[in-house]
Amino acid sequence: MSGIWVVLRYTLARLALFAAAFGLVWLVGGAWLVWDQVSVLWTALVALALSAVASFVLLRGMRAELAERLHGGAARMSGRLDESRRSEDV
C-alpha cells in the first residue's frame, strides 16, 4: 500500500474513534447535562481522552505500519541528501 494511503487510513481510523467516543459520551452525558457550548466542549475533551486511549490500544498495528513507512521514507530522503552532498563535493 502506498505511503499516503497508510497515513490516510490511520488518520481516518483516529477520527472514527473520536466520533464514536464523542457519540458515546454525548449519549451517556445527555441525560445529566444541559446542552450548551460549554457542555459540548467538555464532551469533546472527554471524547478526545477516551479516543486517545482507545487508539493507543486498538490501532497499535496501524501505528507500527505507519511508523515503518515514515522511517523508510526518511531513510530514503536522508540517503538522497547524502548522495547529493557527495556529488557536490566532487
Number of domains in the chain: 1
Q: What is the pLDDT of residues 31-52, one digit of tens each?
A: 777 778 778 888 999 999 999 9
Output the pTM of the full model: 0.76
What pLDDT is attached to residue 89? Answer: 64
What pLDDT is attached to residue 1? Answer: 59
pLDDT in tens, the chain (90 residues): 577 898 899 999 999 999 999 999 999 887 777 778 778 888 999 999 999 999 999 999 999 998 898 888 777 888 788 788 878 765
| C-alpha triplet 64, 70, 74: angle, nearest 5° | 145
Domain extent for 47: 3-89
75 burial level (CB within 10 Å; 0-12, 13-18, 19+): exposed
